[in-house]
Structure formats: C-alpha cells, structure tokens
Amino acid sequence: MLQKYDSIIQDQLKKENVEKVDDETEEGSIKRYIPQHAVITPDRTTTKVRIVYDASAKTKKGCHGFNECLYRGPVTLDDLCGLLLRFRTLVADIEKAFL
C-alpha cells in the first residue's frame, strides 16, 4: 500500500497538482500543510487506493483549518428568497394567461 500511495503522490507531483515544500524558507513566512489520508476500497477494480485531502481539518483545538484562512470574497449568488418570490410571480402570471 505504501508503494501505491507513493506512486499516487509522485503522479500528482508530475502533473503539478501538488508541490513539494522545502524546509528552508524565508524568515517569518508561514507554512500551511493540508492533511491527507488514503481511502482503500479493495472491492473496486479501477481505483483501489485514493488520496483524500482534508483542508477543513484542524491540527489543534482553537486553531484554524486551511479553508478558514482563505479569503472568502464577495457573494456572487442572487438572494434565494428574492429568486423564489420572482419565480412565484412568474408562475402566477402564466396561470392567469392560460385560464
């Protein structure tokens, strides 16, 4: 299993899905690591081992997970309540048109 896990990591490195982090970094820079673990499904014929990255995992109590450290950005979706009210108005107009 260790060899299969390593081959998956090496494949992800080659495809540049992940990157190798050296211990030597600039003074004061913060490193964040995403925890991962293997999911093993022996009854499958195609992918018996796959790696799952858990960016919401917290390393210690009171610490933030990786997802919590990212900038969320503005909400670009419409307000759900307003969307439903406009849809109901449209449906009511169609019902009146085809009585």
- 25 bridge partner residues: none
Residue 68 belongs to what domain range?
A: 2-22+29-74
Is residue 42 situated within a structural domain?
A: yes
Structure tokens at 53: 């990255």
Number of domains in the chain: 1
Q: Return the amino acid letter for 48.
A: K
Q: Determine the distance from the C-alpha atom of residue 18 to the mean position of all C-alpha atoms in its chain, rounded to a whole number.
A: 14
Q: Beta-carbon neighbour count of residue 34 at 10 Å?
A: 13
Is residue 44 situated within a structural domain?
A: yes
Is residue 12 situated within a structural domain?
A: yes
For the chain of 99 residues, list the mean pLDDT of each consecutive stretch of 10. 90 90 68 83 84 85 82 80 82 67
pLDDT value of residue 20: 81
